[in-house]
Structure 1
């Protein structure tokens, strides 16, 4: 699915929440999103895949298939896992160029930063940085060497 269509789909999903969304229902929805993720292999939950700069443990891995980058991630915290899954929905399955150049407009539209503390925001931004870095590494590892 096109990356902007996926962002629009996420926006629509959050619009379907009650019109007067409160913090409790917002985070309950993020926990629900955390249950829909593809499980990460236990052996991938290691220090090499741990996202630095996060106050909660988050692991992210990537692999390349047919020129597209795919991600797997997990966290010990269900809300963090839900936040990460939002990013995986948008980024996974796209090219390195798309991943590194996409404007994540859905974050503003779903008012995510209205509900996150400074600590959550730092964690979220660290995960975005890790995803983009992994995409670049996957791209470079697959590039022919001269």
Structure 2
């Protein structure tokens, strides 16, 4: 539940979050998807993931011809920063910048248990979301950088 929707008379969260439809798998009366260790909610609107890396084992394939295994893995990190600025009309704009870094690892192990082939790549996706706090207009831009 976002702090902006706390009922001022009762002092509790008796108001349904307007973004509840976006998170229909969760109660509309919870805060940061009931996981404050993984998500943050800096402006009281919706949870943002910050910091903790996510590991994914995408595939392990066995090749019968040469008795080798190919392993495909990813490590994903996410960092979000929030800042505020004024536009030309003097209205306050919230700027949320998220950096998602994706490290991909492809490793082939031969029948002797030795690494015979390896390829790694890192990709960063920068997403900037500008929200006009008066009109609720949103502008999103994104760019991808490969290393």
Give TM-score scaled by structure 2 length: 0.23
Larger Rg: 2
Q: Could you say which structure has the higher helix fraction?
A: 1
